[in-house]
Structure 1
Amino acid sequence: MNSIKITNNDDLQRALKIRKEVFVKEQKVPEDIEVDEFDILNGACSHVLLTVDQEAVGTGRVRLVEHYGKLQRVAILQSYRKHGFGKVIILKLEELASELGATKVKLDAQVHAIGFYEKLGYEVQSDVFQDAGIDHVLMVKSL
């Protein structure tokens, strides 16, 4: 298993393919809102790719928003879930957020994932809201 900051377009495309599989195909998020202006190299976001035996299986991104590292688009291919890979991605994103100068991180968690994030030290900070037709809550953690 290897978790890396994406530095080339090939790896970015591998990450986008994972997100398309998880968010667009599996969760029915419209593709035109899943990919946005932050999905470029050397832009406002740092992207992460997780590989297992050279196969791309997970991804996420982080950007600095109002002094927070905002974690977004965390996705693991369905057949690789429940093996601790999500935690590896979150820890890498937190590391990158810290490098950007953030002392806190936040994310919009899908409601079904609240327990996962709580185990990693995140706390719910909002009521349930809809994003792309899916229930979410805002969660925050100090680094």
Structure 2
Amino acid sequence: MSVGLAVRLGSWGELADKASAIRFTVFVDEQKVPAELELDEFDAVSCHALAQVGAAVVGTGRLLPDGHIGRMAVLAGWRGQGVGAALLRALIDEARRRGMARVVLNAQTHALGFYARFGFSPEGGEYEEAGLPHRTMHRAL
């Protein structure tokens, strides 16, 4: 894990500027997700996580009220350094704190192994979301 890595949780009102900048860089610029799909009505009701190393904002994710974890994004230069793991742990801990019995996510297929390391199991078959292959995964809390 990167030295000085901190994860902050907050509302969309508090974290929107920084979280949306990372999401647009990763999903829209890198992965070519259509910009109009990136922000949605769930942002306003979700708990957002922001990963920072010093003053640099390097990753984000969110927890929806129904237990879905999503919009996990880490800037390219910070991948493989524990940022995604710290974000996922923080969101799982928040779900547990809120009394949720399980968490669910829609994983891009290239990230299945990452989520499996945190106890997530795939369910159902592969499907396309925003032009990218995904599988649903879940974990009991």
For this structure pair, what is the TM-score category when the shorter chain's length is used for normalisation? over 0.9
Structure 2 residue aligned with 1:119, among 117, 120, 124? 117
Cα contact 1:64–1:100 (8 A) shared by 2: no
**Structure 2 gap segments, 5+ residues each:** none
Give distance in 2, aligned partners of 1:61 and 1:52.
19
**Structure 1 gap segments, 5+ residues each:** none
Structure 1 position 103 matched with structure 2 position 104: no
Q: CA deviation at 1:7?
A: 4.5
Cα-Cα RMSD? 1.3
Structure 1 position 39 matched with structure 2 position 43: yes
Cα contact 1:48–1:59 (8 A) shared by 2: yes
Cα contact 2:12–2:43 (8 A) shared by 1: no
- Report the TM-score, using the length of structure 1 for normalisation: 0.91
Task: Give the aligned partner of residue 20 of structure 1.
Answer: 24
Q: CA deviation at 1:97?
A: 1.1
Cα contact 1:63–1:97 (8 A) shared by 2: no
Structure 1 position 59 matched with structure 2 position 60: yes
Cα contact 1:122–1:140 (8 A) shared by 2: yes
- 1:82 is paired with a residue whose SS is coil
Deviations 1:86-117 (A, max 9, x none): 11000000111122221111100000000001
Task: Give the aligned partner of residue 133 of structure 1.
Answer: 131
Give distance in 2, aligned partners of 1:122 and 1:53.
30
Cα contact 1:109–1:136 (8 A) shared by 2: yes
Counterpart residue identity of residue 83, structure 1: Q
- Report the TM-score, using the length of structure 2 for normalisation: 0.92
Runs (4 or more) in structure 1 with deviation over 4 Å come to none
- 2:18 is paired with a residue whose SS is helix
Counterpart residue identity of residue 6, structure 1: G
Matched pairs, number: 137
Counterpart residue identity of residue 43, structure 2: D
Counterpart residue identity of residue 4, structure 1: R
